[in-house]
Structure 1
Amino acid sequence: MFRTGRSLGVFTAGAAVASAAVTMVAPTAVAAPGCAGVSGVGSTGGPGNAVPWLNGNTGGLPGLSGRTAAIEKVTGTYSPNNTVERFNVLGTDLGIMWDNGAGQILTAFGDTTGHSRNPICDGLVGEWRSNVLFRSADRVLADGMRFDSGPMDGSGQAREIIAAMKIPGVEASSIPTGGIAVNGVQYLSYMSVRNWGDAGQWSTNYSQIATSSDNGETWATRPETLRPNIGGVLPVGVGPAAGNENFQMNSMVKDGGFVYNYGTPAGRAGEVRLSRVSEGSILDLASYEYWNGNGWIRADPAAAVPVMDGRIGEISVQYNEFLGKFVAMYTDVFSSIVMRTASSPAGPWTAPETLVNLVEVPGIYAAYIHPWSNGSDLYFLATTWADYNVMLMRTTLVR
């Protein structure tokens, strides 16, 4: 999910801070005999095998009742996008979408695997990348979402756009959480994951924003001294600063010259808090304001109060023209996908409405709204854990 570029990224509302005296941990890892480096699936861990006929799943679409339907798989073996052949993307999750301002949707994915080029070390499934990105100009979503291109490496597969050390306890992975474009620059919020824990739980070193001035091809992050890449080190004491622990995962939406940032703590069990910043100051942490329930407090993330309660995972917020309201989607405590609406960014938000429940689709998570949804059709991407792949879905909105 991150890489190099020309402009310099800065810490966001989830910035890390370290104490003056810290112990440095050298990146050490154990590889199989004759194998160099560390391999395996990171992120949410993903199944060790995303091949349907080997992991016990059909790879097909779920049948749903009500106003929501599954349209097609956009990644994996049975996707019309042919992501295995074109990008060596066999399994992945998330699918965070934003309009690049130039006629395309950019979509960032989380931990990604493909067919292994070193099966002795990695098994059938390897080529772990912490993140990849695809571009799409497809505006006809009723029959699916086609990907046109994505950043590639020299071997002909989709490459990791933001580096991760891939060392559990130091930096296990780098996971995108939200994206937005302002004046031709792409901004991607991501979290540096220190450790994956039990299902739906993980710890982070920090969150920050990476920037790209070439349509997502290359990305800039902090200097190497603050944001190490491969071969670097991270101090043991690094962790989110006071208040910023509530903004480790983010969804960004523009309104009235501001970028509103909906933040949750790491994991899928936190409440949503809100910050905002003028569009021209996204990289200036001191310019952020935080909603305290009555007004906006400048440069004090600890002042932010919840604007949505409950155990919320991977929130996505967009303004919807059909409803004339802001729409939020996320996974709730019951592992169901729910939707809420509000007339203003700070709310009040309606009670959650269930769109997909865990009985119909077990292990579904990460519902991200497609910015080009129109009329009563609200399109979104979601991941199923068993298949560890992403599908396009649609729900019918009712005024």
Structure 2
Amino acid sequence: MPRTPKFAMLSLAATMASTAVLAISAPAAAVDLFCGGTGSGGSSGFGSTGGAGNPIPWLNGQDGRLPNLKGKTQAVEHVTGMNGPNDTARRFNVVGTDLGIMWDNGAGQVLTAFGDTTGLSQVPLCEGLVGDWRSNVLFRSSDRDLSDGMSIDSSPLDRPNHSKEFLPSKKIPGVEHTVIPTTGISVNGVQYINYMSIRSWAAPGEWVTNYSQIATSTDNGETWTPRPESIRLNVLDDALSRANLPATGNQNFQMGAFVKHDGFVYNFGTPSGRSGQARLSRTPEASILNVAGYEYWDGTGWVVGNPAVAVPVLDGRVSELSVQYSAYLGKFIALYSNQSNALVMRTAPVLTGPWSAPETLVSSATVPGLYGAYMHPWSEGEDLYFLATTWSDYNVMMMRTKLSR
């Protein structure tokens, strides 16, 4: 895995220090004039999902080190950020980001999609030290030895050393604040990603979506095309609910978790925010974009075309969910953050359940502010690898837990 030379980190620290001095010493009137009269500085939008005030740990009073965990779950290595060996700050101007949704691209790589991303600002007088907000970025990896973390091969760029926002957003609060990927999958060489259009942020852990939708890529994630036939409007949200539109059930599928099994693509859906339960739909692989033809699990069987009949298969508060099959256990595994902000695991012999009681992998008392639990598709045997994020440094790390039969 690439390691950041010591002199490079010292140089970066010096650059940051001089930038901070400029930002502090510049007269307010000059800042207002240079920035178009706003004088607001620092409104980059990063961390709107509830993250820390800054993705540079020591500016938050943190040391940025990996959590020192004991037991069967351990932190392996940072994947992103200034403390990670992938040198994402210099290679891609990714200083802070979250989530890390992974899937096998079918061609020897794992693609990983991240949420709201920030880098060192190009206009520090206006944005502050950290800015360069992108609603999402994508990394690629062919690393199969996960015991020391996951090395990053490449990222779609829009200029040298700058990961591009691969799904654009309007960045207008109250209209479309940002666009966040929630799950991805590859079918017959085409990449599919499900994302949510976030209208506005509410209380911590809550947000309002306009819709969820699938986008496709035929060039390994370089470019993406939104597919209108896959859209799921969130008709329960304020503007539409005032029109007394009926609940369609699509509000329960604003976030997703794709799983391929027996020729079908299954999708576990949850509402926007972190307070909903997970429901289940499926479709033949070739029909993944035809949302109107999806089947929904009603508790006893599959019903075509009516998401309103879908019943919860994972109860409790389920957020940032990932699901995949474990050959080691001979069962499906679900990882997510629960109502106590703990990362939990559940297993089931079939996707419709019944699912086991939640087993806590990492509690919020052990690692405060930990969220997201996205499994690496190349996990083998008893070692289950997954990505998780901490608020304190707003970056993603690789973790490993030991499965037990």
Instruction: Indicate the TM-score class for this superposition, using the shorter chain for normalisation.
Output: 0.7 to 0.9
| SS of aligned partner of 1:246 | helix
**1:33 offset after TM fit, Å?**
5.3
Please name the residue that 1:395 is paired with.
Answer: 401
Please name the residue that 1:83 is paired with.
Answer: 88
Task: State whether structure 2 residue 132 is matched by structure 1 residue 132.
Answer: no
User: Structure 1 residue aligned with 2:329, among 309, 323, 327?
Assistant: 323
Please name the residue that 1:120 is paired with.
Answer: 125
Q: Deviations over 1:287-313 (max 9, x none)?
A: 200000000000000010000100111
| Conserved 8 A contact 1:48-1:125 | no
Distance 1:205 1:241, change over 3 A: farther
For 1:74 and 1:32, the matched residues in 2 are separated by: 37
| Conserved 8 A contact 1:43-1:175 | no
For 1:97 and 1:341, the matched residues in 2 are separated by: 19
Structure 1 segment 293-312 matched on structure 2, within 5 A: 293-312=299-318
**1:45 offset after TM fit, Å?**
4.4
Please name the residue that 1:28 is paired with.
Answer: none
Please name the residue that 2:282 is paired with.
Answer: 276
Distance 1:135 1:204, change over 3 A: same
Task: State whether structure 2 residue 297 is matched by structure 1 residue 291.
Answer: yes
Please name the residue that 1:164 is paired with.
Answer: 169
Please name the residue that 2:25 is paired with.
Answer: none
Structure 1: any 5+ residue segments left out of the alignment? 1-30, 228-234
More helix by share: 2
Please name the residue that 1:7 is paired with.
Answer: none
**1:163 offset after TM fit, Å?**
0.4
For 1:32 and 1:195, the matched residues in 2 are separated by: 27
Task: State whether structure 2 residue 319 is matched by structure 1 residue 313.
Answer: yes
User: Structure 2 residue aligned with 1:54, among 50, 55, 59?
Assistant: 59
Please name the residue that 1:215 is paired with.
Answer: 220
| Conserved 8 A contact 2:370-2:388 | yes
For 1:43 and 1:313, the matched residues in 2 are separated by: 16
- The one-letter code matched in structure 2 to 1:80 is P
Q: Deviations over 1:265-292 (max 9, x none)?
A: 0011100000000000000112200000
Please name the residue that 1:23 is paired with.
Answer: none
| SS of aligned partner of 2:159 | coil
Structure 1 segment 1-399 matched on structure 2, within 5 A: 34-35=34-35, 39-41=44-46, 43-222=48-227, 237=240, 242-399=248-405
Please name the residue that 2:3 is paired with.
Answer: none
- The one-letter code matched in structure 2 to 1:59 is G
TM-score, with length taken from structure 2: 0.86
- The one-letter code matched in structure 2 to 1:254 is K
Q: Deviations over 1:220-275 (max 9, x none)?
A: 0147xx99xxxxxxx95499962000000100000000000000000111000000
For 2:45 and 2:383, the matched residues in 1 are separated by: 38
Structure 2: any 5+ residue segments left out of the alignment? 1-30, 233-237
- The one-letter code matched in structure 2 to 1:105 is V
TM-score, with length taken from structure 1: 0.87
| SS of aligned partner of 2:225 | coil
| Conserved 8 A contact 2:47-2:53 | no
For 1:205 and 1:43, the matched residues in 2 are separated by: 16
- The one-letter code matched in structure 1 to 2:340 is F
- The one-letter code matched in structure 2 to 1:277 is T
Distance 1:246 1:287, change over 3 A: same
Distance 1:240 1:167, change over 3 A: farther
With CA pairs under 8 Å and 6+ residues apart, which has the higher RCO, 1 or 2?
A: 1
Give identity over the alignment, percent: 63
| SS of aligned partner of 1:85 | helix
For 1:123 and 1:153, the matched residues in 2 are separated by: 22
Of stretches 55-64 and 290-299 in structure 1, the one that deviates more from structure 2 is: 55-64
| Conserved 8 A contact 1:42-1:173 | no
For 1:221 and 1:236, the matched residues in 2 are separated by: 23
- The one-letter code matched in structure 1 to 2:96 is G
| SS of aligned partner of 1:142 | helix
| Conserved 8 A contact 2:46-2:116 | yes
| SS of aligned partner of 1:280 | helix
Please name the residue that 1:20 is paired with.
Answer: none
For 1:397 and 1:42, the matched residues in 2 are separated by: 32
| SS of aligned partner of 1:270 | coil
User: What is the number of residues matched between the two proteins?
Assistant: 360
For 2:360 and 2:33, the matched residues in 1 are separated by: 49
| Conserved 8 A contact 2:247-2:308 | no
Distance 1:242 1:71, change over 3 A: same
| Conserved 8 A contact 1:40-1:122 | no
**1:368 offset after TM fit, Å?**
0.3
| Conserved 8 A contact 1:72-1:144 | yes
Distance 1:193 1:386, change over 3 A: same
For 1:159 and 1:316, the matched residues in 2 are separated by: 25
Please name the residue that 1:11 is paired with.
Answer: none
